[in-house]
Each structure stands twice: as C-alpha cells, then as structure tokens.
Structure 1
Amino acid sequence: MFRALDEWVSACAEYQSEDPSREIATTIPLYREKTLERLERFAATTGTSLDGAWTLNGRLLPSLREIVEVVAAAVPPPAEPDIRVIHGDLCFSNVLYDFRTQQVKLIDPRALNGLGEPTIHGDRRYDLAKLHHSVIGLYDFIIAGRYRLELGPERGITFDVPREPRIREIQEEFLATRFGGLSLCDAASLPISILFFLSMLPLHADEPKRQTAMLANALRLYRELEPTRRGGVEPA
C-alpha cells in the first residue's frame, strides 16, 4: 500500500499551484496558530493548564504551550516545491486499498485552505503527516480503544499503545519509504503529526478518556522528537 501511496503522491507532485505564494500564506497558520487556538478551547472546556509541566511514564515533559512552540519551530515554512495537489486528510480512514490492482482509492478530500476557501492545492507535507499520524501515531488504535491509560497526580500519565511485532515492522517500512521523492524526515512529518494530535483535542470532548489518550499520545510522540533534535534516537 505504501508503494501505491507513493505513486499517488508522485502524481500529485506534477501539478503546481498557479499562486503558490497565496497557498503558502494560508498554510502556515494551520500549524502553530491553529494548534494554539484549539488548545485554548481545550483548556477552557476542561480546565487543563497549558503552562504546567507533564509527566509521561515517569519522564518529565514541558507544558503544552512550550511543546507547541518547540514542535512548530521544527516545521520549516513551506516552500514553493511543497505546494502541490493534495488530499488534505490522507489518514487511513480515507484510504481504500485494492489488493487485486494494488492501487489506492481516496475518499473525503478536504479541498479547503487555511481560510476555508475551496482549493485542491496545499502543503504536500500535510498529507504525509496525516499518513504519519495513522502509522506512527497509531490514531486508529486510539479510536478503537486499544491503549492503556492511567492518570496520576500533578498531570502525571501512564500510557501505552500495545503493538504486535508485525505492526512495528510496518512502521519501520513506512519510515523508510519516500513519498513523491520526499522522506518523512525532510517532510517534518513527526512534528506536524504532534501538532495534529494536540489540535484535535477539543474535537474529542464527547469522550474524555479518549481525549486524554490523544493528549498522552502527543506527549509520546514528543518524546520521540526530543532525541532527534539532539541527534539521537529513542524508541516509541
């Protein structure tokens, strides 16, 4: 399936926007500003502090506000080559794979820019990060309730998403794949994926436990980002 997705992303990369500068201007707010706006909504409805430190599985982590600043700084502004035809919500729930033809069929494209205007163009790194949030972020596992979560005092969380060896193999294959000639590292997929999980917190207000799991998962991914910023590697 990754090969088929690479073919699709490569095909989309052949179509440039007639006004890439405008698409760049409307894409930039989708990362830092949108995430902070969503977090303010989350804090207002749950009473969660955005300025208090967190502890995940015994490890001290910064506040949510600080995490957003660090992560957003790890996402370079989009350049003109990044602005191509995109799906806009390229997560697994919108990908149908035909095993017979080994092709993908995509449903429910976003087709809107950061201002809510109709467009088929955008930052192609956004699409790759959506795939990342499904494969590495394990979004569908969390939606299905396949996680372990315990809350402790002072914003302490114990969290784990159990994975079979085959799942880890798929994740490794995904990380080694280039999509449209772009590596996931060069596409800043990990930091953008973290912003996705933080920005979706108010969207899961109907399920407080799942909402907390989404938050814990963002912290888990942030732990993965920290050593890459220092030049090391840490397992999920």
Structure 2
Amino acid sequence: MNSNSPAIILCGGNINYSNLPIGTNVSNAMIPVNGKPVIGWILDDLIAKNILQVVVVLQTQNHQLYNFLSWAYQGRIQVDFAFVNEAGTILTSLLNGLNAINQPCGVHIILGDTLIQDNVSSDTDFVFVGQYDTPRNWCLVEADKQGLIQQFYDKSKEKIHKAGLTALTGYYHLTDITLAKKATREAINSGAKELSVMLDFYNKQRKIKIQPAQRWFDFGHIDHFVQAKRSLLQSRFFNSLQIDPVLSTVTKRSQKSAKLADELNWYKLLPEQLKLLTPRIIEQETSDNEVIITQEYYGYPNMAELYLYGNLDGQIWNTALQNLFKVHKLISSYKGELMPEEIADMYWAKTLERMDMLREQEPEWRTWLEADTLTINGQTFQNFNLLRERIEQKANALAANAQATVLHGDYCLSNILYDINNHIVRLIDPRGSFGKAGIYGDPRYDVAKLRHSICGLYDYIIADIFSFAQLSDTDFEYSIYANDSYADAAAAFDEQVVANNYDLHEIKFIEGLLFVSMVPYHQGKPMRQKLMYLTGIQLLNQVL
C-alpha cells in the first residue's frame, strides 16, 4: 500500500473523566493498551499503511507525549508538532495542524483516541463510519445511495427517527488541504466548536464519501475502550488468546506446549494461600500437541505500562514497590529444595548456552564476544571473555549459598498487574521452572528480575525508547529516555533491596546475567540486542 498524504493526529484535548475514568494519565493518547500507549497503536498502524509524515497536535505542557514521540519514533516516521493551549477547541487544533503542512496535498485527519486498521486510499474524500449506541455520543451522517454525505447530525440529544444513519469514527481523509484550511477557518469564524461544521463546509464544495470501518477501535469512551483493549490483546508465548467478556475469562492456547505446560504446573502446585495472588484456573486441557488454559481475566494495567506511560508521582511508586516486596516476602516464605547444581545451571550453564546461541545468530557477535574490552559512553569495560572466570566463580558461590523458595521466575513489571487505587497485586505468566520444572528457585532471581525493570530500564529497551550509535567495532554510545519518575523509583527500589536483607551486589550480578542471557531471544532487533548486552556488561563490571 502506498499513501502519500500526510496525517494529522489531534491530541490537544483533555481526558473527559465522565467518559473515561482512568486516573493514571492526563492525555487519552498516552493511556496504555496492552504494552503501548494509544498513540503508539495509531503511529504503528500509519507506518504499516506507509503514511510516514505526521503532525501531532498537542498541548504545550504535555511534555510526556512530546518526549515519548520524540524518543520512541525517531528514525521510523517523521513526526512534527503543532502546539495549542488548553482553552482551544478541536477546530483550532485542526487549523494549527493543517498550517503545519506547507504543501498542496491531501491529508488524513485522525482523532487521538481512534484507531482504524482498515486499508486507506489517498485518491478520494472519505470518512470512516460505524454503528453507534446513543446519538448524544456521536456525530451521525446521512448518505445517499452512492455513499455521499447529505447531512450531519452532531451529538443530538433528541432521538433521530431516520434509518441508515452511521457515526463518524474519528478518521477522515480530505484530498484538498487548501479547501480544508478554508473550511476550518469558516467554521471557526461562524463560532462553531465541532469538527462536523468544518466537514459540512468542505462537503458543500467537494462531496465526501462514507466508508464503513471494519477494524475500528475507540478509546474515548469507557465501554468501547474496554472492548478495544480486549480485542488488541497481544499474545506473547501463546498461539492465541481469547477473552470471554461476560465471564471475564481469558483462554490461552499454545502448540509449543512446554512453556504453557510449565506455567500450568506452577499454578497447580502453588500453596493455596499464594493462589490468591494469581488468576484462578477455570479449565485446563493438555494433550501431546496443545495446552489450553482458561483463567480469570483482570483488567488492571501491568506495572510496565504504568512505569513507561503513567503520570504517577514518586510517593505512589514508593508505595507500589513496598507492596511488591511484601508480595515477594510472602512468596519466598514458602521453602523448598533444589540441588546447588540446578541453581548453578540457571546462573552459569544457561549463560554459556545463550552466548553460544548469539555466536550462531550473527557473525558480528563472534567479533563482539571475542573482544577483550568494550567502550560504552566513553568508558572502557572488560568484556565477557575477560570476566568469564569470575562470573563462573560468582555463579557457583551463589548456588552454594542459595535457599530455595517458591519463585515466580519472571517477576518483572510486565507480569505484575496492579490496581493503584486499592493496592491489589496479581501475578501472571510465571516461568514455571528453575533448573528444573516446578515452583521453587532462588528468591534473589525474582528480586533481580524486578530490578532489571525498575533500575535496568528493561521495559524502555523493549519499547525502543532509546538512542544507540556504534562508533566502531567496540565503541558504543546510547541513551535511554526514562521519564521523571525513574531516578526516584530506582533509588527507592535499592533501599527496599537492602531493607529486605538482600546483598545488592548479588542482585546486580544476577541482573547482569539476565541482560546478557536474554539477548538471543530478541533476534531481528539488533540495536535492542546490543543495548541489552552492553547493560549487562556494565552491571557485571560493577560487581566483579
């Protein structure tokens, strides 16, 4: 598909908390949905449509949205900005966006809480339409038999007794940007505040066609938001995820059954008290070819989404971290048994295995891993092969003094659902093995997993919110664009590590191993892989 028209995304409004009572964000565009904000879904869809020039209209003080777009999408799509103040209308936002495009062309106009994944054309004037519930929430349109718009009915409080009306979804394409600017000015001069008035002016000059949307996700009203979030739920280790909206259950299916079988086994073996921290298993089915699990579905955001995209102050994070350590303390109070060699396998043998996987993936990694030193942001660090003997000694020492307890095994922010209003924690996607299948492992591993999210900024790396430059074979510069809450949360986390009687150096050592050993599983994302490896090398140099 090729679409040369640029796009304008209107993000200048505030959240209407009567329609969308979500207290973690001040902008619709930054509300997280299954691992990325609404604006991320919209931009990724535009990139897929080959629309690579975008003007985002936002309030001057919306630094979070501005920073996210500047950091996460540099080099992927051209994002320009047009700024408005809080008192403006959607029409003034649109005019600012249109004025930022200095070329004769068509234009896609998209509301910042709307995702349309249908194919688009730049050859016709059209608006996407869909079915609606109550007229007062929508601008309705009446079209003739050819699909050309005849009349607009904007958010009417009266019942409209006409058949065949459809609702504007929030995605419009106009082929004449000069006429669009003129129509917008006329609408503003008439005292209007609604986008439909501008469209009506435009429609009188150039007829606009309706196009029914097949893949429409509306994030501006709470009922539609919930439905969109469920529909866009991304499967990770599973072949499919299916949500029952009435029973609030999620069914996971996997033909690569080992991972899901270990997870199911973990849930079943948990002590009864700890099962309260996880979604209940409703149904299960295991065969040679497939594992199926049906569990309770929780709508809480995961903590990675809150960390990356939420507008939460430091005190909220302090409380959240205290709650996570309370949960960890409860889990690790249940003791078990593991042989030292099984724990050593996780810390040493697994790391060597992953290094071998890297060498097989890309010839460049062989050069990297054989280098004695790496220069990272102007500092020289010993590389893995110089650290190898000390890593093995440290790993064996950890294994020798480990006390096995119940372990989640993947206790990172993306696997922790958190209700910030009621401090409810629910854990999902456990590892299900540590050296061998089961529920036991080294509790320091869970603390290190959590640290690699909070302090190591793993979730920022996964979200590609960083810059990276390779100056030579062994010289690198990078910057991770963490938000304002990062430094305070990282300091508070390390305070909790010490307060809970863990050795911070041991936790950092395990965290370093986590970073270097996860690299092979991100093949296809070379900059992400390199940044993970460099992060791990820096940590290992700190503690060895």
Q: Decide: shared fold, TM above 0.5.
A: yes
Give the structure 2 partner of residue 167 of structure 1.
Answer: 486
For the Cα contact (< 8 Å) 1:55–1:157, is it kept in 2? yes
**Cα distance, 1:90 vs structure 2:** 0.3
Give the structure 2 partner of residue 65 of structure 1.
Answer: 385
Report Cα offsets for 1:134-176 as digits up to 9, x if no partner: 1111000001111121002131111221334421011000110
Task: Identify the match of residue 16 of structure 1 among 323, 328, 335.
Answer: 335
For the Cα contact (< 8 Å) 1:10–1:179, is it kept in 2? no
For the Cα contact (< 8 Å) 2:444–2:502, is it kept in 1? no
Give the structure 2 partner of residue 232 of structure 1.
Answer: none
For the Cα contact (< 8 Å) 1:72–1:191, is it kept in 2? no
* Equivalences for residues 153-232 of structure 1 within 5 A: 153-178=472-497, 181-183=500-502, 185=504, 188-223=506-541, 225-226=542-543
**Cα distance, 1:178 vs structure 2:** 3.7
Give the structure 1 partner of residue 344 of structure 2.
Answer: 28
- 2 CA distance for matches of 1:214 and 1:61? 15
Report Cα offsets for 1:44-79 as digits up to 9, x if no partner: 221223221211112222222223443454453245
Percent identity, please: 28
- 2 CA distance for matches of 1:154 and 1:113? 35
Give the structure 1 partner of residue 278 of structure 2.
Answer: none
Task: Identify the match of residue 374 of structure 2 among 54, 63, 69.
Answer: 54
- Structure 2 runs not aligned, ≥5 long: 1-319
Secondary structure in 1 aligned to 2:398?
coil
* Equivalences for residues 100-139 of structure 1 within 5 A: 100-115=421-436, 117=437, 119-139=438-458
- 2 CA distance for matches of 1:16 and 1:27? 15
**Cα distance, 1:32 vs structure 2:** 1.6
- 1 CA distance for matches of 2:478 and 2:503? 25
- 2 CA distance for matches of 1:153 and 1:77? 36
After superposing the two structures, state which structure 1 stretch, 70-79 or 140-149, moved more: 70-79
**Cα distance, 1:99 vs structure 2:** 1.4
RMSD: 2.2
When the two structures are aligned, how many residues end up with a matched partner?
220
Structure with higher strand content: 2
TM-score by length of 1: 0.84
Give the structure 2 partner of residue 37 of structure 1.
Answer: 353
Give 1:90's aligned amino acid: Y
Structure with higher helix content: 1
Q: Classify 1:15/1:205 alpha carbon distance in 2 versus 1 (closer, same or farther; 3 Å).
A: same
Question: Which of these two proteins has the greater Rg computed from alpha carbons?
Answer: 2
Larger relative CO (CA 8 A, sep 6+): 1 or 2?
A: 1
**Cα distance, 1:213 vs structure 2:** 1.8
